[in-house]
């Protein structure tokens, strides 16, 4: 068996319309394809995909999954997200590698946002950084 790359990060959501609007309009991700049962973002490489959850127990941060995005200007990104009333799981703070924050989507999926100021070192632990204050 040979895994080559991550093709998609799939988020199970409670409301396709609400979640698609969040990722498209609030975060500004480009839509690749859209239907009632499946929406993909990003045209090339790994995609973020949304799919309706069959049970409530399948939703939210309890699934142990985190989507991470790199941004070029954390301060401007945070200002825009706050203006759009996005919920912060971890408020922005300076870390050893740069600026970092964690937000939540409509179903409570955690989304890491990082502005990397220097190359990540071996042993970097993103999970250790997601905890709320």
Mean pLDDT, residues 99-109 taken together: 91
DSSP 19-37: HHHIIIIIS-PPEEEE-SS
Calpha distance 66→40 (Å, rounded): 17
Q: How confident is the model at residue 62 (pLDDT cuts 50, 70, 90)?
A: low
Q: Please name the CATH architecture into which domain 8-129 falls.
A: Roll (3.10)
Calpha distance 35→2 (Å, rounded): 31
* pLDDT > 50? residue 91: yes
Calpha distance 105→111 (Å, rounded): 7
Q: Tell me which residue has tokens 């995909």.
A: 49
End-to-end CA distance of the chain: 41
Q: Of 122, 124, 123, 121, which is closest to residue 112 (Cα–Cα)?
A: 124
In this structure, of 3-7, 18-22, 50-54, 118-122, the range with the lowest mean pLDDT score is 118-122
Q: How confident is the model at residue 108 (pLDDT cuts 50, 70, 90)?
A: confident
Q: Which token pair is 117? A: 């100021």
pTM of the predicted structure, to 2 decimals: 0.75
- pLDDT above 70 as % of the chain: 78
Domain boundaries, the chain: 8-129
8-13 and 66-70 strand pairing: unpaired
Query: Is the CB of residue 20 less than 8 Å from the CB of residue 108?
Result: no
Q: Which residues of 50-70 are buried (b: 16+ CB within 10 A; e: fewer)?
A: bbebeeeeebbbebeebeeee
């Amino acid at each position: 068996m040979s895994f080559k790359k991550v093709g998609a990060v799939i988020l199970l959501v409670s409301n396709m319309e609400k979640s698609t609007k969040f990722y498209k309009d609030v975060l500004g991700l480009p839509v690749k394809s859209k239907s009632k049962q499946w929406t993909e973002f990003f045209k090339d490489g790994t995609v973020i995909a949304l799919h309706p959850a069959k049970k409530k127990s399948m939703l939210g941060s309890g699934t142990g999954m985190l989507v991470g995005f790199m941004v070029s200007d954390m301060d401007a990104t945070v200002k825009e997200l706050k203006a759009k009333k996005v919920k912060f799981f971890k408020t922005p703070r300076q870390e050893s590698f740069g600026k970092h924050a964690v937000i939540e989507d409509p179903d409570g999926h955690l989304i890491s946002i990082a502005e990397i100021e220097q190359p990540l070192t071996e042993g970097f632990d993103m999970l250790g950084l997601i905890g709320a204050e």
